[in-house]
Amino acid sequence: MTDSLRHDGSVSDPGTVSYKVAWRPDQPWVKTSLLRRFMDRVSVPDVAALRVWAGEHPDSFWKNVVEDLGIEWYEPYKRVMDTSQGIAWTRWFTGGRFNIAHNCLDKHAAGPNRDKAAIIWEGEDGAVRRLTYHDAWEEANRLCNALAELGLKPGERVGLFMPMIPETAVALLALAKFGAMVIPIFSGYGPEAVAMRLRDAEVRLLICADGFWRRGKPVPMKETADAAMAMSPTVEKTIVVRRLGASAPSTPWTPGRDLWWDELVTRQPATFETRVLDSDTHLMIIYTSGTTGKPKGAQHIHAGFPIKSAQDLAHCFDLRESDTLFWFTDIGWMMAPWMIYGTSLLGATMFLYEGTPDHPGPDRLWAMIERHKITHLGISPTAIRALMAHDDANVTRHDLSSLRVLGSSGEPWNPEPWYWFFEKVGGGRCPIINYSGGTEVSGGILGCFPTEPIKPCSFSGPVPGMSADVLDEAGLPVRNAVGELVLRGPWVGMTNGFWRDRQRYIAAYWSRWPDIWVHGDWAYIDPDGFWYIHGRSDDTLKVAGKRVGPAEVESAIVAHAAVREAAVVGVPHEIKGQAIVGFAIARPEWAGKVGPALEREVIDYVASALGKSLKPERIHFVADLPKTRNGKIMRRVIRAAYVDENPGDLSSLENPGAVDVIRELGRSVRKES
């Protein structure tokens, strides 16, 4: 397997990585970073030594992490970690009394950060709001008092079906303060997807909005919420935020059940005593889709997910109190709770935006960075590929000098958009922190560090505290070849199992090798020690006995000058077992040349890069690829549509019409044969 495309589009020998280091930190980064501060604290010389020490002394490592982050406890914990029930069920900070909301809100509202911006929000319609830490604390207290008035009890579940507006962050923190469990739900879901989560978690209260703006049009949410609640008998009350207000077409209403936020919450007292809880009290259930079956409800604790979020933001992204972080995401994806908990725990500022990055014009994202002096921008490679299709002047005419760190997650990069992000957006002076982990992990397994060299599309290595390795089929470590990404030990932030499905959790992650977490990603470590992700191992293509990750083939396709974006899947083949079929989006200047000749040219180009044995059977040019709202390409859906199988739940898709096009292409191919 290879990752051999150079920045200039040429190809090295198969099996090698030819990327050259693009980022080398200068001395201020090396000497003054938060990661350097932590390494000095524990007396280790470099990141490699820190990883070794953390793996050998995990209890000491995590003890120092929480102390370095300034995390406060009502009563000190007695043990950092307890593995007496097995590695998969490790308990954290046992005996301690704690509430993450104290660390995210209370201590800031009562301290030097009282009047500092906790939240800056811009709506797609141009509206702007700012909440200081004291403002957010008071609003969270009011919501807690409203929850008490409604009879909610600690430990009960509350759904959060909201766009990215200030009340969303306030509610997430208030529910922790109250002691309830929050269920974040993607704002673009249809009724059945929302209802499945409400039913499964037995949610008593739903917090939602009347709607939000998207591409200049109001998107109603209350109608969806009502349809979902009709299928969810446990929901008793709904708190509704007026986001659209008079712009809402008409908000359906059930008297006695539905309550306006501004009528219920704003009249409440502005103080509420934060509940003192055990450190491992459940905080949140985040549902994440599996390749089969219903979504998995990953459970997280107060002294887990938020601590991991803050550690990664400090050590990988060097996020400081003076910084403003904008991660382009949705509350239903783990990166939104990650941003909200981690940013507020560190006392920094979060920037929230509800709309699309290119509305009303292709420079909207860059204008917001300039307007609000954003220092940290996180975005998916897919979104960058879409934005770079516009004229570079949309970027360069804005002052982006406030940026100092760029971030990405969700999928593998290919070289051209990585360099465009690095050079056009970051000016070559901002490191791109590639970051990969998952909902069940609470953050990153692999990351980059501003203090370390970075190759395009790569990871510098495991995040400190994550005992990552790459194993072959026999369970032995492998280098310079692709294998399974695994974790050899527990970590703060690991999911506390799946909601009411202990066995599925063990089967999903711990069943292949004893006491080893198998993450489900293909990974590769190059001769220089840089790591790469090659896609999900359950997406693996097996062509005539040869295994290849889709990301590798996709990188070869987009290296062709005609292609802006691509996805590949494996389809049944009577001789090879599987054949590779690609779907490509042409660059605008090539649109007039799309046809059989160009398809053959791209196929031959891939064959020259990867070898004839990995030559795609077909490449179809399409106008769009099925993606979620956070930009993740849904290969599972592409394959199912192409071979005319049931693609499953499409409610999280931004563009379900793209599925119909792919289904028709598959039918046409079958008619030909």
User: DSSP assignment, residue 501?
Assistant: -
Q: Is residue 61 part of a domain?
A: no
Q: What is the pLDDT of residues 268-298, one digit of tens each?
A: 999 999 999 999 999 999 998 654 457 889 9
Of the chain, the end-to-end C-alpha distance in Å amounts to 31
pTM of the prediction? 0.86
Q: What is the pLDDT of residues 166-192, one digit of tens each?
A: 999 999 999 999 999 999 998 988 888
CATH number, domain containing residue 250: 3.40.50.12780
Q: Is residue 63 part of a domain?
A: no
Q: What is the pLDDT of residues 460-506, one digit of tens each?
A: 999 999 999 999 989 999 998 889 999 999 999 999 999 999 999 99
Distance (Å) of CA 160 to CA 132, 308, 309, 344: 22, 22, 20, 19
User: pLDDT: is 475 or 538 the higher one?
Assistant: 475
pLDDT on residue 13:
30
CATH number, domain containing residue 625: 3.30.300.30
Q: What is the pLDDT of residues 199-248, one digit of tens each?
A: 999 999 999 999 999 999 999 999 999 999 999 999 999 999 999 987 76
Sheet holding 324-327, edge to edge: 128-132, 117-122, 349-353, 324-327, 376-378, 405-408, 432-438, 443-447, 461-462
Q: Is residue 352 part of a domain?
A: no
Return all residues near 514 (Cβ < 8 A) that are at least 6 apart: none
Alpha-carbon span 636 to 656, nearest angstrom: 13
Distance (Å) of CA 217 to CA 163, 166, 599, 643: 14, 20, 37, 35
Provide the 10 A C-beta neighbour count for residue 365: 25
> Which three-class secondary structure state does DSSP give residue 462?
strand
Q: Is residue 103 part of a domain?
A: yes
Instruction: Select from 282, 312, 342 the last residue of a domain.
Output: 312
Phi/psi-derived region of residue 9, left when phi > 0, alpha when psi is between -120 and 50, beta in every other case: left
Domain count for the chain: 2
Instruction: Select from 296, 312, 328 the last residue of a domain.
Output: 312
Residue pair 414/554 in contact (Cβ under 8 Å)? The answer is: yes
Confidence category of residue 14, pLDDT binned at 50, 70, 90: very low
Instruction: Select from 265, 297, 312 the last residue of a domain.
Output: 312
Q: Is residue 90 part of a domain?
A: yes
Dig out the tokens for 524 from the structure: 């590769």
Tell me the H-state helices in 236-392. Answer: 261-264, 305-315, 335-346, 364-372, 381-387
Q: What is the pLDDT of residues 589-621, one digit of tens each?
A: 999 999 999 999 999 998 887 777 788 999 999
Domain that holds residue 627: 540-672
Alpha-carbon span 317 to 320, nearest angstrom: 9
Q: Is residue 320 part of a domain?
A: no
Q: Is residue 208 part of a domain?
A: yes
C-alpha closest to that of 532 among 412, 405, 378, 408: 412
Q: Is residue 180 part of a domain?
A: yes
Alpha-carbon span 99 to 302, nearest angstrom: 6
User: Over pLDDT 70: what percentage of the chain?
Assistant: 94
